Structure 1
Amino acid sequence: MEQRFEAYLDHLCDSLGHVDRHEGLRGYCQGLMLPLARKSVEPLAAGIDPHAVRARHQSLHHFVAKSDWSDERLLERVRAWVEPALLREKGTECYWIVDDTGFPKKGKHSVGVARQYC
């Protein structure tokens, strides 16, 4: 499983341009795979590197919020990875349904206390 995940990340890194962005993507994806209750940058940083949370938080935040990479190119690489698996069975219809992540908002004092999408 770990080798397949690394191969997938290698495939995705090709879309990021400069090699300095690769570690950010790897850390972010690794954090998303951890069994954490919250998946924002700070808990991801703590889960990935508990001894250097502040530094990891800064690097993950930079990758997510400030680094110059194309989400369209990254999603194209995701599609290029997934599509062959979907099309393996000749003569069968196959669908890839992608849903965003949403959760019920907690609390009564914020604007828009309905479903919160992230």
Structure 2
Amino acid sequence: GEFIVLRVEHRMTDMTQPGAVSSALGGSVTINCRTSQDVYYHTQHPYHHLAWYQQRDGETPKLLIYRASTRASGIPGRFTGSGSNSAFTLTISGVQAEDAAVYYCQSYHYPNSQHVFTQ
């Protein structure tokens, strides 16, 4: 069968992601993102400030998931975000050829008000 590779390159020292994952078409892949400190969460804003982006070759990054698990407008249900605190996951089920891309996770940390955006 055909295989595609979803590249996830580690850039920031305080976030950890795998170098690459691969899947057969129609399969399922999981991409993990771990931060060295907990992602911002507040009772007045009861969600984790973690987002996932997809960047295909030659294109700008596209928002897939925000608030850790909310799909952005137009993103199909086969993209699922989950996790809490410092460990988050992007799962792609029913992988399609157009899913071959670089995936980023972005986190927000308080009180440093620091955005960490890694590939």
- Per the shorter chain, which TM-score range? under 0.3
Structure with the higher strand share, 1 or 2: 2
Instruction: State the TM-score, normalizing by the size of structure 1.
Output: 0.24
Structure with the higher helix share, 1 or 2: 1
Instruction: State the TM-score, normalizing by the size of structure 2.
Output: 0.24
